Structure 1
Amino acid sequence: MQQGNILGTLLPLIVFFAIFYFLVIRPQQKQAKAHKEMLNALAKGDKLITNGGLKCTVVKPGEDFITVKLNDDVIVEIDRQFVAKKLDA
């Protein structure tokens, strides 16, 4: 009798955690993994958008910072963390 009561109490909690995992945690992990792979694959000439909304072109990818060109005259370094996405051709 006691065993059935514990199972009945824990079952909704287990189901809730499973739903939370598949709807929130797992997609977030997949997105973070894809973003990390995109950052590691950056090469010279790739066009990207920063978190600040700037559209730029990669001049030289580095370990922690990426040298980018905003226009013909402005070349800056940005931290890899601030790359939002890569623009496809």
Structure 2
Amino acid sequence: MFISEAFAQAAPAATGAADSPFGSIGGMLPILLMFVVLYFVMIRPQMKRTKEHKALIEALAKGDEVVIAGGLLGRVSKLGETYLHVEVANGVEIQVQRSSVVQVLPKGTFK
């Protein structure tokens, strides 16, 4: 009686991302940009370091002076597939994994 009937009005067509020039990619652009930045800031440098370390390990030879991951200095005395023997003092030889070599030092550094 006091309440009149309400009718839904015809709503205008919704304007969204479909009408924009970029389509639905415009909403995803910030996320894509974050992945590109992440690749160039974190992933690519790590892959480069890994590649350099692998080349360093493959190039090891008997007599090379090396630094091991724990900070130990020594001279390579024997080479194996996955392990190598490092002489850290006269008559003191340790066996370590090849991947634990961090750096190859210039000749004459270790005495």
TM-score, normalising length from structure 2?
0.74
In structure 1, the residue matched to 2:46 is 28
Q: Please, what is the CA RMSD of the aligned residues?
A: 1.4
Alignment partner of 1:12 out of 16, 30, 33: 30
More helix per residue: 1 or 2? 1
In structure 1, the residue matched to 2:57 is 39
Higher RCO structure (Cα 8 Å, ≥6 apart): 1
Residue by residue over 1:25-68, the C-alpha shift from the partner in whole angstroms, topping out at 9 and shown as x without a partner, is 00100100000010000001111111111001001121010111
Percent identity over the alignment? Answer: 36
TM-score, normalising length from structure 1?
0.91
1:88 positional shift: 2.4
Divergent runs of 4+, >4 A:
none
CA distance in 2, matches of 1:57, 1:27: 29
1:81 positional shift: 2.1
> For this pair of structures, how many residues does the alignment match?
89
Report the AA paired with residue 53 of structure 2: H
Any unmatched runs of 5+ in structure 1? Answer: none
CA distance in 2, matches of 1:60, 1:9: 59
